[in-house]
Amino acid sequence: MMEHYMAIILVAIGTYLARFLPIYFNERFKKLNCVDEFLTYSSTALISALFVTSLLSFPVKLKNISISIVALAFVFVSYKKWKNLGFSVLIGVIVHLLVSSVIAAG
């Protein structure tokens, strides 16, 4: 079970870095037009791909989608409150872990 927690923590850190690093390097490489355009779209594309693959997995199970929707609701609410995408994604990952643990134990 500890391997699952480590995987979730690593995914949360990776997701945060995937969003943060292109923005960080975008400021440093603004003078290079092709790099600037690539970094602008890469973070959006990466987050979109992570979102779709984590929300929908096959076979589709109502329980898994329900857990994802609850976690996604927490992401939206926390982003509305704090305006920090990385923190909001981290909250979503933690909520997903907690709800999954409660459902698995019950």
Residues 6+ apart with CB under 8 A from 3: none
Distance of CA 31 to the CA centre of its chain: 29
Distance of CA 78 to the CA centre of its chain: 13
Alpha-carbon separation of residue 68 from 12, 20, 21, 96, 100 (angstroms): 15, 23, 25, 7, 9
Residue 97 lies in domain = 2-105
Query: pLDDT of 20-69, one tens digit each?
Result: 777 777 666 666 666 667 766 776 777 777 777 777 777 888 888 899 89
Q: How many structural domains are present in the chain?
A: 1
pTM of the predicted structure, to 2 decimals: 0.56
> Could you tell me the two tokens for 82?
């704090």
